[in-house]
Structure 1
Amino acid sequence: MNHDTTLQYISEAGKFSSDRSLGRIRELSRRLGDPWRGLKIFHIAGTNGKGSISSYLTHILSTAGYNVGWYTSPYLERFNERIRVIQGPEVLEQYDRDNAAGEIDNESIDRIMTRVSRAADSMREDGIMDLPSEFDLITMMALIYFKEKNCDYVVLECGLGGRLDSTNVIENPLASIIAAPGYDHMDRLGNSMRNIMYEKAGIIKPGTPVFAYNPSDSMISEEDAASARKTLEERCLELDVPLHWIGRDQYEMLSYGRQGQSFRNLETEEVYTTKLLGVYQPVNALLAVAALANYVSAEDIRQGIAATVWPARLEILSHSPFVLLDGAHNIQGCRALVESLTRLNENAPMVFLCAIMQDKNYREMINIVLNSKQYETAAIVFTAAPDERTASAEQMLATAKEVLDPEVESKLLMSSVSDYNAALDEALALAEAKGAVLCVFGSLYLAGAIRKRMRDLQKNQTYSTGYNTPGA
C-alpha cells in the first residue's frame, strides 16, 4: 500500500461495529498472531483525563530509561500522533520540544497496514459478516508496531467506553486505570451513570489492580458519583481485584499559577510539580504514581511528572495576549475549565472562542462557561470546528442568547464566524483590545486547527510563543 491508499482503507472501514461483542477484534488479532501477547500494558479508560494520565505514565517510564509504546486518541493535527514510541529520556526531551518526536512513520503505517488489511480481508473472504472497524485496524497496527520496537512497556488508552473497545482485546495488563467519569458518548454507552461506568469497568481483568479517579471529585452530582462508585466496586468485588481510589483528599496544594502547580502527596509526603494547569491534574498525576509505584523509583516519578506535557489541555499558546487552549468538550470538562480559569485569569476579563460538536450538550456547556460569576466575560466568538459533526456558529449563538443570564448578556459581545481562522483573528483582536485572556474550548477538532494556526502566526512573530507550547 502507498500512504494515500492506506489512509483511505482505514477511513472506509466502519466507525463502529454492529456486533456488541469483541468477536471481530479477537478474530482479527488471532489472524495476526495476537501481537499484544508479551507486552506489558497499562490500560486506561474513563471520560475525562485519559490522555493526561497516559502522558504522566509515559513521561515517568521514559524518564526511568524504558522504551515506551504510547497509544492515544483522537489526534490533534496528524494521524501519526496516535502511535508513538518514546525510547528513554533522550526521545522524551525531543517530544517535549516537538510533539512529532517518537511518532510512527508513514512507511511503518503503510507496511503494517498491508499486513493488517490482508487479515481483515481474509475475514470477509471467509464469510464473516461483522468486519473490523476503523479503530480495530488502528489498534492492531499499534500493537504490532510496539512489538516490533521491543517496547518495555505500553501505555494503552481506550478510544470509547472500555468493555467493547478495540483495546480490550488484551489480557492481563499490569494495571487498569479508570479516569474521571462523566457523561459523553451516551449513544454508545448509555444514558445513566451506572451504564457508563459499567462500560468503563469492562477493562478490569482478574488479577489486575485497579486505580480509579474518585467519582466524588469528578464534577458530577452526588447521586451520579455514588452510582459510579458502587458500579466499579461491584465489578472489582466480582473479579476479586484490589481497587484504589485516588481523589483530592490525598494531596495538599502548595502553589498554583500560570507556570504550573505543586502539591504534596499526603500518603508519602512526596512533593510533585507539574506544568499541566488543570485543577484535576494532581489527581491524574497521582493515579500514575499509584499505578507505577512498583515499577520505577520515587525520583523517576518526581522527574517524570515535572517533565509531563500534554497538548490542548489548558495549554498556553501565547503570552501577549494570553491565550489558553483547552479540549473541554463535555459538561464535566467545562466545569473543570471554569474552576481552572478562576485561578488563571488573574482578574483579567475573558474572551472565548468556541466550537462544539452537534451531538454534545452544547446548551449546558455554553451555560456553564458564560454564566459563571467567577470571572468577567467580555466577548465570545462562536465558530465551526473542521468536522462534519460540528454545530454551526449561528446555532450556538442562538442557543447562547437563550441561556444567558440577562446581567451577563448586557455586558457581553457575541458573534458568529463560521471560518475558524477568521474567528481566531477576531477573538485575538478582541482580547488585545480589552486586555483579556483568550480561551479556546469546546472541541479537540477545533483545538488541533487553532494550535496549528497559532504556530503559523508565531512564525510570523505576530504573537509571543507560550513557554510550554512545543512545535508539531
Structure 2
Amino acid sequence: VLRSARGADDPGPDPQDLLDCAVAMIRSANKFPDSKKRDRGSVLYRELGDPWRSYPAFHIAGTNGKGSISSYLSHILCHAGHKVGWYTSPYLERFNERVRVLDGAQDLARYDGDQTFGEIPDGDIARLMDKIGEAARIIAAREGVASTQFDMMTALAFLWFQEQACDVVVLETGMGGRLDSTNVIEKPLASLIGALGFDHMERLGNSMREIAAEKAGIIKEGCPVFAYAPEDALLSLSDASEVRQVIDRRCHALLAPLTFLGYHDFDLLSYDWSGQEFQTKKDGRLYRTRLLGPYQPVYALMAGEAVLSSGMADQDAVRRGIADCVWPARMEILAQDPLILLDGAHNVQAGLGLREALGKLACDIPVVFVIGLLKDKEHKEMLKALFLDPPYTVTDVIATEPPDARRFAAEKLIEELVSVLPDPKLIRMIDLPDISQAMAEAIGRARRKGAMICVCGSLYLAGVVRPLVREGFYK
C-alpha cells in the first residue's frame, strides 16, 4: 500500500495517479541482480551524480536487529539536534516508510505520535522515480547493467536525503552487505552488525562463515565497527566462533577498530511490560528502553557507542534517544483488552528471542498464538522454538497466511506443528488463512480464557495486523 503522507492542508495531486508509473517501474526491475557485479548499484548512482556523497552515514547490517539499531541511532541523532535521513527495509504498511527525514527532537516527537510523519511524500516518489528510471535506462543501454528494485529504491533514498540537506543518514542494508545496494558508502561514521542467524541462505550461503562474510562486507578501511557479540546471538558455540573469527579478521585486515557488545556489558535492573532498565558495567550509566526484546539493551548500547565515537551526540542525547526509541512490530503492544503482542520474528534466532521474552513477561497469563510463516523460512525449527516445552502456557494456536506469494499454507503449518509436539492434544489448533478471521477468533478465545495474544512469524503478517487492531475492528 502506498499513500500520501501530506497533511490535510496540502493534499497534493491524486496519489494513485502519481504513483502508478513509479510502482510499475520498480516492480518491472529484477528483484535480485543477474550477476555478482559489486559496482551494479554504484553505476546507477554515478549516473545520478552520486548523491550519497552529500552526507555522512552510519551503515547497518545483520540478520536480526537492523531496524532496532537504526531506530536507536535516529532517535539519538535527533535528540542531538541533527536532521536525519533514515532508510529502512522492508516496510510494514506503506512503501513511504522506507525513506524518512526527521529534523531534531521536535520532529522526533511528532514521529513518535504519528509514525507516518517524516515519510517521503507520494509526489516526490513519483518525481524522483522518473529521474531514476531514465538513468537506469541509460546505463542499461550504454553498459548492459540492469538495476534491481533495491538499487532503485536506494537511489530514491539517496536523492531525497540530498534534496532535504540531511546532516547525517542512517542506512540499513536490504540483505547481506557485501553486494547490497547500499554498500557504496566509502567511509561510514561507523559500521554496525546486528545479531547474525540463518536466513536468506539461498542468497547468502548455507554456513555461518559464509553469512558472516557477506555481512562483514560493509566494514571499511579504518572505520569503527560495533558488532553484536555472537556468543549472545542464540547460535551454536561453533557458529558463534566462526562469526567472531570472520569479523575479527576482516577488521584486522582493514585496520578497522572493532567493539563487540553483548549481555556481559550490562546488568538488567528491571524488566516488565513497560520496558527494561539496565546499567552499563563499563561506566555505571543507567538507561531505560521501551522496547521489550531481551536483546534490546545490546542494540541500544551498540547505537550509543557508535554515535559517541563519531562525536555527533553527547551522553545526554544518547540517554534520551534510547529512552524514547520506538520500533513497530518488534515485540510491540498493540492493545490491552486483551493484551496483543505483535512481533515480526521470522527466523529461528528471533523466535528464540520471543520465547525468552514471553517466558519472562507472560508469567501466569496463558497465550493464544496467531502465527503465519513463509515457505522459504525454517518453519519447523521456528515452531520448535516457540512451542516445544515453552516457559509459558499455550492454550491455542491459530495458523494464518501472510499476504505474500511465498506464504506457507495455514493447514500445512498446523500439520507441521502437530508433528513437532509430543502431545498436540494439549493445544487447540485451527487454520484460518484469512488474517481478519484469525484475529477475530484469537480475540474471542483470549477473552474467554483470560489470555493474551501473541502474533508472530512474518513482517508481512504484521503489516496487516497493525492497522486492523489500530482501527479497532474487534471492539
| TM-score, normalised with respect to structure 2 | 0.95
Q: Which moved more, 1:14-23 or 1:197-206?
A: 14-23
Match of residue 258 from structure 1:
273
Identical pairs, percent? 46
Q: 1:329 aligns with which of 346, 365, 375?
A: 346
Aligned length: 457
Q: Does 1:423 align with 2:438?
A: yes
Q: 1:377 aligns with which of 388, 394, 418?
A: 394
What SS does the aligned partner of 1:21 have? coil
Match of residue 109 from structure 2:
93
Match of residue 81 from structure 1:
97
Give the alignment of 1:143-222 within 5 angstroms: 143-222=158-237
Deviation at 1:111, TM superposition (A): 1.1
Q: Does 1:395 align with 2:418?
A: no
Q: CA deviation digits over 1:80-99, x for unaligned, max 9?
A: 00000011111101110111
Equivalent residue letter for 1:329? H
Question: In 1, Cα distance between the equivalents of 2:326 and 2:389?
Answer: 28
Q: CA deviation digits over 1:262-313, x for unaligned, max 9?
A: 0001112110000000000000000001101132111111111110000000
Q: Is the 8 A contact 1:258 1:344 kept in 2?
A: yes
Question: In 2, Cα distance between the equivalents of 1:457 and 1:130?
Answer: 48
Give the alignment of 1:237-386 within 5 angstroms: 237-293=252-308, 294-386=311-403
Q: Does 1:117 align with 2:133?
A: yes
Match of residue 442 from structure 1:
457
Q: Is the 8 A contact 2:436 2:468 kept in 1?
A: yes
Q: Is the 8 A contact 1:69 1:154 kept in 2?
A: yes
Question: In 1, Cα distance between the equivalents of 2:301 and 2:389?
Answer: 29
Question: In 1, Cα distance between the equivalents of 2:32 and 2:20?
Answer: 22
Q: Is the 8 A contact 2:80 2:312 kept in 1?
A: no
What SS does the aligned partner of 1:166 have? coil
What SS does the aligned partner of 1:36 have? helix
* Residue ranges of structure 1 left out of the alignment (5+ in a row): 463-472
Q: Is the 8 A contact 1:386 1:446 kept in 2?
A: yes
Deviation at 1:19, TM superposition (A): 1.3
Q: 1:134 aligns with which of 135, 142, 149?
A: 149
Q: Is the 8 A contact 2:56 2:168 kept in 1?
A: yes
What SS does the aligned partner of 2:53 have? coil
Q: CA deviation digits over 1:412-443, x for unaligned, max 9?
A: 00000011110111111111111111000000
Question: In 2, Cα distance between the equivalents of 1:435 and 1:389?
Answer: 34
Equivalent residue letter for 2:335? S
Q: Is the 8 A contact 2:55 2:168 kept in 1?
A: yes
Question: In 2, Cα distance between the equivalents of 1:174 and 1:322?
Answer: 40
What SS does the aligned partner of 1:37 have? helix
What SS does the aligned partner of 1:60 have? helix
Q: CA deviation digits over 1:81-134, x for unaligned, max 9?
A: 0000011111101110111000000111111111111100111222x3330000
Q: Does 1:6 align with 2:22?
A: yes
Q: Is the 8 A contact 2:359 2:390 kept in 1?
A: no
Question: In 2, Cα distance between the equivalents of 1:334 and 1:319?
Answer: 23
Question: In 2, Cα distance between the equivalents of 1:2 and 1:439?
Answer: 38
Question: In 1, Cα distance between the equivalents of 2:146 and 2:187?
Answer: 25
Q: Does 1:223 align with 2:238?
A: yes
Deviation at 1:455, TM superposition (A): 1.1
Question: In 1, Cα distance between the equivalents of 2:464 and 2:167?
Answer: 34
Q: 1:63 aligns with which of 79, 88, 97?
A: 79
Q: Is the 8 A contact 1:183 1:331 kept in 2?
A: yes
Deviation at 1:410, TM superposition (A): 2.5
Equivalent residue letter for 1:395? K
Question: In 2, Cα distance between the equivalents of 1:326 and 1:129?
Answer: 42
Q: 1:53 aligns with which of 48, 69, 92?
A: 69
What SS does the aligned partner of 2:202 have? helix
Q: Is the 8 A contact 1:264 1:271 kept in 2?
A: yes
Match of residue 467 from structure 1:
none
Q: Does 1:31 align with 2:47?
A: yes
Question: In 2, Cα distance between the equivalents of 1:311 and 1:73?
Answer: 12
Question: In 2, Cα distance between the equivalents of 1:405 and 1:320?
Answer: 32
Q: Is the 8 A contact 2:279 2:285 kept in 1?
A: yes
Q: Does 1:451 align with 2:466?
A: yes
Question: In 2, Cα distance between the equivalents of 1:319 and 1:26?
Answer: 47
Q: Which runs of 4+ in 1 moved over 6 A?
A: none
Q: Is the 8 A contact 1:25 1:166 kept in 2?
A: yes
Q: Does 1:102 align with 2:118?
A: yes
Q: Which moved more, 1:15-24 or 1:330-339?
A: 15-24
Equivalent residue letter for 2:406? R
* Residue ranges of structure 2 left out of the alignment (5+ in a row): 1-16
Question: In 1, Cα distance between the equivalents of 2:28 and 2:111?
Answer: 31
What SS does the aligned partner of 1:457 have? coil
What SS does the aligned partner of 1:167 have? coil
What SS does the aligned partner of 1:291 have? helix
Question: In 1, Cα distance between the equivalents of 2:121 and 2:415?
Answer: 44
Question: In 1, Cα distance between the equivalents of 2:262 and 2:452?
Answer: 30
Match of residue 232 from structure 1:
247
Q: Is the 8 A contact 2:52 2:159 kept in 1?
A: yes
Question: In 2, Cα distance between the equivalents of 1:95 and 1:108?
Answer: 19
Equivalent residue letter for 1:232? I
RMSD of aligned residue pairs (Cα, Å): 1.0
Q: Is the 8 A contact 1:338 1:372 kept in 2?
A: no
Question: In 2, Cα distance between the equivalents of 1:373 and 1:364?
Answer: 14
Deviation at 1:2, TM superposition (A): 2.8
What SS does the aligned partner of 1:161 have? coil
Deviation at 1:367, TM superposition (A): 1.3
Q: Is the 8 A contact 1:18 1:130 kept in 2?
A: no
